[in-house]
Structure 1
């Protein structure tokens, strides 16, 4: 699976959130300053060609739905970050976030419980 560029990822975030969308819906969901309609249409066409979106013709327009699930893209993206910045070590990545993100005691406890439950599976 390819890595998305910043604007591509913003478009996919909107479509993932909506489930299905027309170009106008996508533009409405993007942050200011809103890009021009043709710019978004071109990016959506590229995302369709890359296999991230599926287009369905409805009348004289297209409705787009995700072909790649957010969970699948997120998993691939996190794996890439783990490999690139943390020597492919989940423990190193987790240690970084535990130190840098100032996790609350409750968050740390939840994380420990999650890790323990994964070990027992």
Structure 2
């Protein structure tokens, strides 16, 4: 799966949330200062070329929608993160976040509960 830039990822987050939208709808959801219409339109065309977004014609405009679901992208990104920085080990990745104090004991307990639920 191709990697997204920060700007592309922001647009995708909005599209995943909205399910489908035109450029104006996406800009409306963005934080200030809002980017120019042409900027967002260009990023969407890039996402389309990368295979992340498709569209249907509606009137004179386009309605865009994600071709890649958020879960698929999240799994690919997490896998790439683990592979590139943690020798492919999710255990090493979790250990890293524990050492950085980004994970509390409560967070770990919740993760373990989720794992146990999936095993059942």
Deviates more, 1:101-110 or 1:4-13: 101-110
Q: TM-score, normalised by structure 2?
A: 0.90
Q: TM-score, normalised by structure 1?
A: 0.89
Aligned residue for 1:33, secondary structure, equals coil
Deviation at 1:87, TM superposition (A): 1.0
* Equivalence for 1:21: 21
* Alpha-carbon displacement from aligned partner over 1:36-91 (angstroms, at most 9, x marks no partner): 11111111111112111111000100000100000000100001110111111111
Unaligned ranges ≥5, structure 2: none
* Equivalence for 1:77: 77
Contact 2:53 2:65 (8 Å CA) reproduced: yes
Unaligned ranges ≥5, structure 1: none
Determine if the alignment matches structure 1 residue 4 to structure 2 residue 4. Answer: yes
Cα RMSD (Å) of the superposition? 1.6
Residues matched between the structures, number = 120
- Alpha-carbon separation, structure 1, partners of 2:34 and 2:60: 24
